[in-house]
Amino acid sequence: MLIRRARRAFVLVVFVAVGILPGSAFATCSSQLAVQVLGSGGPDANDARASAGYVLWIDGQARLLVDAGGGIFLRFGEAKAKFETLDAIGITHLHADHVSDLAALLKSGFFSERTRQLPIIGPSGGGDFPGMSEYMRILFDADHGAYRYLSGYLDGSGGLVKVAVTEVKTDPPGSEVVFKNDRFEVTSVGVTHGPVPALAFLVAAEGRRIAFSGDQNGHNPQFAALIKGSDILVMDHAVPEQTDEVSGHLHARPSEIGRLAAEAGIGKLILSHNMARSLSHLDENLALIREHYKGPITVAEDLMCLDL
Ligand SMILES: [Zn+2]
């Protein structure tokens, strides 16, 4: 018993000595400018990762949330991000693994100090997908919304924070500035994610540039042009090289990720949206990427902090 206690105390001392505590290794992201990975996974629950979501931290405050897939509600709290400090939320596309926790996060904001409007930027609709504005109506419309009891998000009633939706055309896929304040600027560009209307974002803050691929097959030359010379590219790593045609139209193959990162001259490549099917080929995928891209590569983990 005594030995076990002593061993536990020793382990705790070691954790404290290297600046981490068990279970909260990545829980704070306090540098001046950083991106924190909230969810490094995709739509499969078997990879033990939250689905897509990222926070931009500026001077210790969470200022931008990119995507809000399943599990991001929990990770947002674990990261100690505050709803009231968010200047905007960007949603790359309306697949469930990128947006299903949005309503839960907005609801949590009811218990925050926030009173100012919350800008939400998302794609226009097409095919089987509503646009961002229609999606918000489906959730919160006072008469027909699934969460009609929260209709105040659309009109500011009931003590809820009104959201201001900017819907961005994905086709033709030109780039445009979709949000700007004195802290950062967001430029979007339409990307090819199979038949899904989808956006990628480039965020500029404090002289640094961070690219979020969203989900895409990496084929849009305008995306490569927009992100040229970015400090960080957070890229979807969702398929192995020998993937089927449908998945290859949805996501970039490892060789395509490598070519894109090399062509765009990316400072650091972050592989996220990891799935069991891509992680099971990780060594092979990394080798294929490195045939083209010679810079540093990090495989994202939930709550990982990427300093800039
Ligand atoms: Zn996805």
Confidence of residue 20 (pLDDT cuts 50, 70, 90): very low
Distance of CA 179 from the midpoint of ligand 1 (Å):
23
How many angstroms is it from 40 CA to the middle of ligand 1?
Answer: 10
Strand duo 88-90 + 118-123: pairing: parallel
Dist. CA 245 → ligand 1 center (Å): 17
Residues 308 and 209: their CA atoms lie apart, in Å, by: 9
Contacts of 117 (CB under 8 A, 6+ apart): 156, 161, 162, 163, 164
Q: How far is the CA of 5 from the centre of ligand 1 (A)?
A: 44
pLDDT at 178 over 90: yes
Residue 300 Cα, ligand 1 centroid: separation in angstroms?
15
CA angle 108, 113, 115 (to 5 degrees): 95
Q: What is the pLDDT of residue 26?
A: 52
Decide which of 29 and 287 is more confident: 287
Please state the pTM of the whole predicted model.
0.91
Going from the Cα of 52 to the center of ligand 1, the distance in angstroms, rounded, reads 7
pLDDT interval class at 14 (50, 70, 90): very low
CA of 86 relative to ligand 1 center, distance in Å? 23
**What is the whole-number distance in angstroms between the Cα of residue 14 and the centre of ligand 1?**
37
Cα 97 to middle of ligand 1, angstroms: 5
Residues 6+ apart with CB under 8 A from 102: 68, 89, 91, 139
> 156 C-alpha to center of ligand 1: Å?
31
Q: What b-and-e string marks burial along 98-113, b requiring 16 or more CB atoms within 10 Å of the CB?
A: bbbbbbebbbebeeee
- Residue 25, pLDDT > 80, answer no
What's the chain's average pLDDT?
A: 91
pLDDT at 71 over 90: yes
